[in-house]
Structures are given as C-alpha cells and as structure tokens.
Amino acid sequence: MKPIALLPLTLICLLAFPAYGFNLLFLRDAPVAEFDSVDTSLMIENFYDAMNNGENGVTSSWENEETGHSGAITPLNSVKDGNTTCRNVRVENNATTNSGTSHFKFCKEVGEKWLISE
C-alpha cells in the first residue's frame, strides 16, 4: 500500500465505527476489519471524490460486487475561512457482519490533505 493512502485509511477506519478510543482494538469489530484491498481502494477513492467534488447533502456511494461490502459519504455542510475549508460529513460502511455510521468534521488548507478536526 502506498504511504500516502495510510492517513485516509486510518481516518476512514475511525469513521466507520461510532466509538472513540485510544486502543485501536475496537477496529476489529468495525466494518473495515472485513475489507479487502479492493474495498479499501474503493472507499478511499469515494472519500476523496466526495470531499473534493461532492455537493452538500448529496451522498456518494461505493460497492464491491465481489465482496458485497459497501459504503457512502455525505458532505452535510461546508465552511470556508480564508485558505481553510471544513466539511461536516456522515460516513457509512457496510461489511458482511457489521455496519457503522458516524459523523465527523474534516478540514484542509489549499493544496493540503483532508484531516479530521474536533
């Protein structure tokens, strides 16, 4: 896996499960624990497309027909302050035995990557 993909994968792993914690063992029960590399690629591609191009209130979905796993991201609102843009989003991920929905805020400065905020 490319190093550049690790940050969004980590963030989306956190998004896929509604609990917070410093112990990442909780991810074993999150939908992403069942995802294969194709699922993960589809999820990350969908995340960036929705964050960079999606309109507020419009859901962007992905599905891997081979595994049956799926997910969606819905940007709920956007705020721009100078060079910083923030978006509140709802993220849903579904695997064979587990589903998760969470709400988060991501921010980025022009030319930078989306980072989870607050």
- pTM (predicted TM-score): 0.75
**What would the two tokens of residue 87 be?**
């978006």
**What would the two tokens of residue 65 be?**
């027909």
Q: What pLDDT score does 2 carry?
A: 39
Q: What pLDDT score does 30 carry?
A: 82
Residue 35, beta-bridge partner list: none
* Sign of the four-CA dihedral 6, 11, 17, 22: positive
Q: What pLDDT score does 49 carry?
A: 97
User: What is the rounded CA–CA span in Å between residue 41 and residue 24?
Assistant: 21
DSSP state at residue 59: -
Mean pLDDT of the residues in the chain = 83
Q: Are 90 and 84 in contact (CB under 8 A)?
A: no
User: What is the rounded CA–CA span in Å between residue 68 and residue 64?
Assistant: 6
Q: What pLDDT score does 33 carry?
A: 85
Q: What pLDDT score does 32 carry?
A: 83
Listed as ranges, residues in the chain with pLDDT below 70 are 1-28, 118
| 3-class SS of residue 105 | strand
Q: Are 90 and 54 in contact (CB under 8 A)?
A: no
Place of tokens 């914690």: 21
